[in-house]
Structure formats: C-alpha cells, structure tokens
Amino acid sequence: GSASFSQIQRSPLFSSLNSEDVSYFKEILGDKNVIEDEERLETANTDWMHKYKGSSKLMLLPKNTEEVSQILKYCDSRSLAVVPQGGNTGLVGGSVPVFDEVIINLSLMNKVLAFDEVSGILVCEAGCILENLATFLDTKGFIMPLDLGAKGSCHIGGNVSTNAGGLRLIRYGSLHGTVLGVEAVTANGNVLDMLGTLRKDNTGSEGSLGIVTKVSILTPPKLSSVNVAFIACNDYLSCQKILVEAKKNLGEILSAFEFLDNSSMDLVLNHLDGVRNPISSSDNFYILIETTGSDETHDREKLEAFLLKSLEKGLVSDGVIAQDINQASSFWRLREGITEALQKTGAFYKYDLSLPVEEIYNLVNDLRERLGDLANVMGYGHLGDGNLHLNISIAEYNEKVLGLIEPFVYEWTSKHRGSISAEHGLGVMKAEEIFYSKSPETVALMASIKKLLDPKGILNPYKVLPHSAFSP
Ligand code: FAD
Ligand code: S2G
Ligand code: ZN
C-alpha cells in the first residue's frame, strides 16, 4: 500500500468497542443488522483494490435516517470512531477503517423516494446503487447524469461524498451542478434536511463531515440516439486537436470523450477475455467518442462527417463507428475495463490527476523515462475534463519504485498547476499530500469546518485532512 498509510497512529482519544456498545446497537437496529461475522467483516474491512485493510470488529446496517442518527449520537457520546461505507469501490482508501473504526454501511437504505417526470428530479436514499437508479430512470425515459465503471456497486451516497466525476461529466457537468440537495446526519446525530432546496450543494466531504442519507438529483431525459466511435491516432497532440474538433463539430451532442494510450490497450487485450481492438492497424493512442442526441439520422451524419474531416486532416489514422449497441458496448468495454485489467496485474500504483490538457501526456512520458523498464506506465482517462488516470503496474509492490514515483508525481502535478485528486477524493492515500493542491489557509479552513461539525473527529478519521491540520 501507499507509504503514508503505515505511518498513521491510532488516536488514543477514541474508545474501543465493548459488549455494551454491541448490545445497544442490537437494541436499535435488530440483531441481523449488527454484523460481527468474521467473513463479512473481512470484506467490509478491505477496499476494492485489496490495498487498504482495517481491523473493524463491527459493521452496522441502518435501515433509515433515524437509525443513522441514533448510531452517530451514541458513537459521538462514546468517542467511537466510524467509517461511512457505500459500495466500497473507492480507490483512495477512504471507505475502509484504518484501525478498528465502526463501519456504518448504507446498503439497506436503497429506496427511490420520489421522481418528478416533468422536472426529472429524483429523490432517493443514499444507499441506492448507481446502476439500479439508471435502470429505474430508464423505465421513465431519463438517465443518471453520471456514469462510471463502478456503477454495479457504487452508491449515489458515495458518488456524492466523493463528488465523483465519471464518463459523462463532459456533457452533464459535475455533481456540483446536478445534486440539488442532500439530507445528512452530522457527528452528534443531528439530521440536516437540505433535501428540499433547489440551490446547488458543494459536496466532496468523503464522509468526514456527515453521513449522506438522502440525495435529490436532477436527471436528464433519455435521448433516442446514442452513437459511439472508436478512433486511433498517432500522437498526443492529435488527441488534443481531435478534442477541439469534437467540441466544435459535434457540439451539443458530444456526451463522452475518453482516451487511452497503447500501453492501456495492451493491458486490456492481455488481461480481459472477449475483447479485441476494432482498429486493424494498432496505433499509439485511442479515443472513444460518444454522442447523445434526439435525431439518429442527423447525429450519425454529424459523427461520420466529423470522422471523415479528421481523417482528411490527418488527425486520425483510422476509426470506426459502432453499427449497433453490442459493438458500442464492446468499445466501452475497452475503456471501462482498464481498471479491472489492472487488478489482474501483480501490483499497481494509481494516480487520479487534473492537469492542463496540453500537459497531461508529458507527465506520462517523464515518468516512463524515470522508471525505465522497472514498471509499465499507462495513461488514460477523461481527456475532455483534463483528468488523467496515471497507473503504474509492476510484478510486486516495491518501495524503491514507489520512491521514484512519489513525491515526483505530486511535485510534477503541483508545478504544472494541476490537482492531485481530480475525482476520486483524497481518502487516506493522499491526506498528507493535500498541500500539493490546496494552500495552508484553505486546509486550515477545511479543518475549522471539520472541527465545527465533528469536534471529536469520529467521522472517517485519518482521511482527507493531514494530521497536522486536524488530529482527533
Ligand atoms: P465508497 O467507496 O463506499 O466510499 C467512498 C468515500 O465516500 C469514503 O470516504 C466513504 O467514507 C464515503 N461515503 C460513502 N457513502 C457515504 C455516505 N452515504 N455518506 C457520507 N460518506 C459516504 N470514480 C470517479 O469519480 N470516476 C470514475 O470514472 C470512476 N471509475 C471507477 C471505476 C472502477 C472500476 C472502480 C472500482 C472505481 C471507480 N471510481 C471512479 C471510484 C469510485 O467508484 C467512486 O469514488 C465512487 O463514487 C465511490 O462510491 P461508493 O458508493 O463505492 O463509495
Ligand atoms: C476510470 C478508474 C480509476 C482508475 O476508469 O475512469 O476513474 O485509475 C477511473 O482505474
Ligand atoms: Zn475516472
């Protein structure tokens, strides 16, 4: 795991669980929703990447906001630290205990509460799985404004708490724009009902300021014509020019613009079954473009014209437009499958960075030069949002290689005016690195808000904020 993880000390201010605590939780939740079973705790203590592992002795499954409130009120009075957990697909160690924090998992709070078929405003509980919401909305002719590879497991509560970006941000904006309100419970058990307001809500607290129990979100109507093109180009400058052309010539129907380099493509072809590169002559970069509009003929003509023009200008070496939904899914599989393919390599280091678009691939090249043949460096991500997913895969974890990667990657990002966390959050992985992207004054302000809302620091301790700024 990452170096900073092992240097954290368990705060002496937090109590340890005792039998009275467990009996209290059983009283308010019922025995079956108070989990002490070794196997289920093993899963809940381990993150999706199997990189971060806690030692919690208890997982609680509240069924409603009132139960979350009672749990937090009790934990706050007993100084028991907790970790809010959604789908546990987070990639920065934010969703699992660092030590013996009590796990509060929102999975049982998975009901759709209201949907307005005119405005598209959905109100649901935080534990709704993203894919289930998408399926529900599909029956109403609407879609979720965000989509990500973890859709089958991640919760809307976790998406809101990490201010997740994902594959549709280029079209529908970040959750800052679509989340209209939340209901949340603060450390002392107070229920904050900010659900009714239509003002925007700045989130991204990663469970350190409160537990999100309900979300109201604006969902766009489902449009009839979705087209996907998979194209290859020779160099990163062409990737950028294609992005400019796509924004200009596809305009309002552009709904996704993802890139992956040939190392990422090789990784997917080597580690996933049933995938193949639709481009006959392999190239250095691949781009997946999706358009979503309301007129199939118009949209297809537009996409074909765009592709032809890019070929004529020599920006694109080859390209193919999906003939049907299956082929479109096979193109998406190449992009969404990279994370899964990485899981199958021995070990990997993962960086989720925002950078000026023109700088993105310079970092990949610089790091590739720095590591030589010590490791395989891959660059892919949401090019349209200036979000690079820089991943390094290696046979097994190796402190020497980590020492070559960090702090180099963070310093490089900071020097080039980027952010060390584009969409995944800081979690435990990057809490000590926050100063590469936030000024000391901003961190101090974040710490004062944390102090105000969670004076004992029981909510997701050791995460987001550095020990120097806030230590329970
Ligand atoms: P968890 O992992 O359970 O928790 C994440 C954080 O939120 C933790 O700090 C946790 O304490 C907190 N939390 C969870 N639920 C609540 C709640 N109800 N109230 C308060 N705090 C809470 N992320 C992206 O942004 N874009 C992507 O494109 C993307 N692609 C991914 C692809 C794959 C294959 C995988 C495995 C992950 C991907 N992720 C991506 C990362 C992850 O899916 C997101 O961060 C997601 O939003 C986490 O949701 P979750 O419900 O799994 O939250
Ligand atoms: C994606 C997943 C994280 C990663 O696929 O868009 O957010 O680095 C990522 O694989
Ligand atoms: Zn991503």
Closest Cα to atom 2 of ligand 2: 339
* 286 membership: H or E segment, kind and range: strand 285-293
Question: For the residues 122-142, what does the mean pLDDT come to?
Answer: 97
Whole-structure pTM value: 0.92
Does ligand 2 come within 6 angstroms of the Cβ of 391?
A: yes
Which ligand has the nearest atom to the CA of 150? Answer: 1
d(CA 68, CA 422) in angstroms, rounded, equals: 30
pLDDT: is 118 or 9 the higher one?
9
331-371 pLDDT per residue, tens: 999 999 999 999 999 899 999 999 989 999 999 999 999 99
Does ligand 2 come within 6 angstroms of the Cβ of 162?
A: no
Does ligand 2 come within 6 angstroms of the Cβ of 345?
A: no
Which whole-number Å values give the CA distances from 108 to 29, 36, 63, 87, 235, in the listed order? 12, 17, 5, 11, 48
ipTM of this predicted complex?
Answer: 0.97
Q: How many residues does the chain have?
A: 472
Does ligand 2 come within 6 angstroms of the Cβ of 215?
A: no
Please, what is the average pLDDT of the chain? 94
Cα-to-centroid distance, 215 and ligand 1 (Å) = 15
Nearest to 21 by CA among 68, 77, 66, 63: 77
Closest Cα to atom 53 of ligand 1: 158
Parallel, antiparallel or unpaired: strands 102-105 and 82-85: parallel
Residue 198 has pLDDT above 70, yes or no: no
Supply 148's token pair: 């990500």
Task: Answer whether 275's CB lies under 8 Å from 207's CB.
Answer: no
DSSP character string of 252-276: GGEEEEEEEEHHHHHHHHHHSTT--
Kindly indicate the confidence band of residue 376, based on its pLDDT and cuts at 50, 70 and 90.
very high
Question: For the residues 228-236, what does the mean pLDDT come to?
Answer: 98
Those residues with Cβ within 8 angstroms of residue 37's Cβ, 6 or more apart along the chain or in another chain = none
Ligand 1 pocket test, candidate residues 106, 162, 209, 459, most atoms within 8 A of CB: 162
Which whole-number Å values give the CA distances from 271 to 12, 139, 275, 369, 437, in the listed order? 44, 35, 9, 25, 34
Supply 251's token pair: 């305009």
Parallel, antiparallel or unpaired: strands 59-60 and 102-105: parallel
What pLDDT score was predicted for residue 439?
84
252-284 pLDDT per residue, tens: 999 999 999 999 999 999 999 999 999 998 899
d(CA 238, CA 315) in angstroms, rounded, equals: 5
Nearest to 387 by CA among 166, 147, 179, 235: 166
Cα-to-centroid distance, 383 and ligand 1 (Å) = 20
Q: What is the DSSP letter of 96?
A: S
List, chain by chain if needed, residues with CB within 6 Å of any ligand 1 atom: 48, 83-91, 94-95, 106, 126, 148-150, 154-155, 157-159, 161-162, 164-167, 206-207, 211-212, 339, 423-424, 427, 460
Q: What is the DSSP letter of 36?
A: -
Residue 201 has pLDDT above 60, yes or no: no
What type of residue sits at position 248? K
Does ligand 2 come within 6 angstroms of the Cβ of 238?
A: no
Q: At what angle do helices 296-312 and 236-249 cross, to 10 degrees?
A: 140
Q: At what angle do helices 65-78 and 19-29 cross, to 10 degrees?
A: 160
Closest Cα to atom 10 of ligand 2: 339
Question: For the residues 455-471, what does the mean pLDDT come to?
Answer: 94
Task: Answer whether 418's CB lies under 8 Å from 359's CB.
Answer: yes
Question: For the residues 377-387, what does the mean pLDDT come to?
Answer: 94
Q: What whole-number percentage of the chain has pLDDT above 70?
A: 97
What pLDDT score was predicted for residue 200?
33
Sketch out the chain's domains with CATH numbers.
Answer: 112-218 (3.30.465.10), 225-336 (3.30.70.2190), 345-430 (3.30.70.2740)
- Which atom of ligand 2 is least distant from the CA of 389? 8
pLDDT: is 2 or 48 the higher one?
48
Q: What are phi and psi of 45, to 5 degrees?
A: -85, -10
SS (H, E, C) 110-151: CCEEEECCCCCEEEEECCCEHHHHHHHHHHHCECCCCCCCCC
- Which atom of ligand 1 is least distant from the CA of 213? 18
27-80 pLDDT per residue, tens: 999 999 999 999 999 999 999 999 999 999 999 999 999 999 999 999 999 999
419-440 pLDDT per residue, tens: 999 999 999 999 999 999 888 8
Does ligand 2 come within 6 angstroms of the Cβ of 256?
A: no
Residue 457 has pLDDT above 50, yes or no: yes
Those residues with Cβ within 8 angstroms of residue 122's Cβ, 6 or more apart along the chain or in another chain = 112, 114, 115, 116, 133, 137, 142, 216, 217, 218, 219
Q: What whole-number percentage of the chain has pLDDT above 90?
A: 88
Task: Answer whether 370's CB lies under 8 Å from 408's CB.
Answer: yes
| Alpha helices, DSSP H, located in 12-147 | 19-29, 38-45, 65-78, 130-140
Supply 37's token pair: 């079973």
Cα-to-centroid distance, 411 and ligand 1 (Å) = 25
294-331 pLDDT per residue, tens: 999 999 999 999 999 999 999 999 999 999 999 999 99
What pLDDT score was predicted for residue 194?
83
